[in-house]
Structure 1
Amino acid sequence: MDISYILNELGEEREDYFRAIAPPIVQTSNFAFPKVDEMRKAFQDEYSTWLYSRGLNPTVDILRKKLAALDAAEDCLVFNSGAAAIFAAVLANVKTGDHILSVKNPYTWAQRMFEVILPRFGVTHSYIDGTDINNFRAAIQPNTTVIYLESPNSWTYDLQDLRAVADLARSKGIITICDNSYCTPLYQQPCALGIDLSLQSATKYISGHSDVVAGVLSGSKAMIERIFNSEYMNIGSGIQPFNAWLLIRGLRTLQARLD
């Protein structure tokens, strides 16, 4: 799909909102239903309809379509910070007794989650130099459920062979998560390389104007729906419509700013 089309057109059904070039900000907390039965169905499946803007919202959905397409992913969720996206991605895939294998020197708040928060619930972790695939092979434990990557790394700019790590993890039933904040989907698409969940801080390049704090999590529809129905809705960390609109605006110039 053409990048310019994704950034400027995809998801913007202008016939539905007065042929406006800029999409509307649907600034509402909830939505009305003509029949009680329709509302009951919505309560049973908030992932498929607009019910309450803590979940889905028309403005947010325009942004989700664009970001998922950019990531070569089936779907995505947009959070009110990159840290929230990281937390939801990891929390959705660990339980008491599990082990996380992470590249060394991860983003500060990912590191804090691994070292301070998750140990309280019996989840352990270890760090490795991710530049050599053999380090992953040697460090995987029987209870490893998540491999956490940053390529490039937040502090050292080290790269990992994402396809090789994804293949290794898949052979052992391990979920892979990659922070793609530095490259953005314009220069790297982790999901296309086999990574299960690609995340990024939209605060940086996606926004481009230093006026939004947000995070993006992309992956398969099944994985994203599972996270939506649990971590996303329970934590209540979804992006608000106005901030989603600002990110849609930021996407208009993303390619021009990064080329």
Structure 2
Amino acid sequence: MDISYIINELGEEREAYFQAVAPPIYQTSNFASATVAEMRHKLLHEEDEYMYTRGNNPTVTLLEKKLAALEGAEHAIAFGSGIAAVAAAILSQVKAGDHVVYTQHPYSWTKSLLRKFLPRFGVEATMVDGTDPENYRRAIRPNTTLLYLESPTSFTFDLQDIPAVTAIARAHGCATIIDNSCASPLHQRPLQLGVDLVVHSCTKYIGGHSDVMGGVICGSREAINKIFKSEYMTLGAILGPHDAWLLLRGLRTLPVRMERVAASTRQVVDYLAQHPKVERVLFPFLPSHPQYALAQKQMRSNSGQFSILLKTKELEQVELFCNSLHRFLMAASWGGHESLIFPVAASYATDQPAPILPLNLVRFYVGLEDPDYLIQDLEQALDKV
């Protein structure tokens, strides 16, 4: 299905709302029924009907149709945040006594869910180095039900060989879930590579303006309807219609934003990769990266995130570099118009255990600014280190 058609036409019913170019926001909590029989039908088929916005809402449905199509999925279900989508997807595949295998260095709240929250309910999880698919195979137990991927990962941008891991999962009767937020649905299509469920933080590239939060799960209609009837309706982590409308607005410009971000990021990375004060750039689309061939194989293009290791082990020097940047905001997340940094050094505190990641690691997101404008800022900050 053509991307331009998905973004601009799929699901748009302009004749139903006065030929408005932008769809309306159906800001209602519930929907009336004309007869008892109609209400009975809605109760029995709530996954396909409009009865209560905690279930379905027309504005949210339009977003879900477009996101499912972008991922090549049969169906999708939207949530109020990325971690809400991750949690619902994982919960749909596990029960007490089950075991999950997941890749190292995932999104921090995914890690917290798997290591701290689910063990309270009898679900165990094992973290492996996901760059080698065999590590997934070696970690599988008789009670393993799920292999969890995040490719690329959030800070180190490690890849997993998606077809290899999904083949291992099928051979052992396990489900697979991947967080595809970093690549976006334009640059990676995991369902085509054998994954069962794809999750996104819509807060990132899909929203694109740093003003809305959301999440989505994409997969088969059977799997999504199962989640709707259980984790979605029971836990209620829904996406509101106004937030869905903002995400629809973001989708309109997703291709042009991703194209700009990809090109600018390559230019910034090329500058940093040759800088004498940068020890290493963690970016799978660098030809020198050990997973460059895999990135070329399973991704269509790069996105805007990468990390660097500064050539210093001194916390003060890392802080000096980060504090000297003026054109990169220091903030979490990514995907908006603005360029960002997230220094691991911010997680280092004298009264807490040191994080696993090194203190000289700084994550970057390149936004929509001119790359030369950003490089000038990097140059003056690096000069101070």
RMSD over aligned Cα atoms: 0.7
Partner of 1:116: 116
Partner of 2:32: 32
Partner of 2:81: 81
Q: Distance in 1 between matches of 2:77 and 2:214?
A: 11
Gap regions ≥5 residues in structure 2: 260-385
Q: Which amino acid aligns with 2:104?
A: K
Q: Distance in 2 between matches of 1:133 and 1:88?
A: 25
Partner of 2:232: 232
Partner of 1:60: 60
Partner of 2:297: none
Partner of 2:222: 222
SS of aligned partner of 2:97: coil
Partner of 1:188: 188
The alpha carbon displacement at 1:138 in A equals 1.0
SS of aligned partner of 1:157: coil
SS of aligned partner of 1:211: coil
Matched pairs, number = 259
Q: Tell me if structure 2 keeps the 8 A contact 1:73–1:192.
A: no
Gap regions ≥5 residues in structure 1: none
Partner of 2:203: 203
Partner of 1:104: 104
SS of aligned partner of 1:50: coil
The alpha carbon displacement at 1:74 in A equals 0.5
Q: Tell me if structure 2 keeps the 8 A contact 1:6–1:69.
A: yes
Partner of 2:136: 136
Identity %: 56
Q: Which amino acid aligns with 1:212?
A: V
Q: Which amino acid aligns with 1:152?
A: P
SS of aligned partner of 2:176: strand
TM-score (structure 2 length as normaliser): 0.67
Q: Distance in 2 between matches of 1:163 and 1:228?
A: 27
Q: Distance in 2 between matches of 1:192 and 1:56?
A: 27
Give a deviation string over 1:196-229, Cα, whole Å, max 9, x none.
Answer: 0000110010001111010111000000000000
Between 1 and 2, higher relative CO (CA 8 Å, sep ≥ 6) is seen in: 1
Give a deviation string over 1:116-169, Cα, whole Å, max 9, x none.
Answer: 111111110101111111111111111110111000011210001111111211
SS of aligned partner of 2:112: helix
Q: Distance in 1 between matches of 2:162 and 2:43?
A: 38
1:243-258 to 2 correspondences below 5 Å: 243-258=243-258
SS of aligned partner of 2:173: coil
Q: Distance in 2 between matches of 1:113 and 1:134?
A: 24
Structure ID, larger Rg:
2
Partner of 1:156: 156
Partner of 2:262: none
Q: Which amino acid aligns with 2:132?
A: D
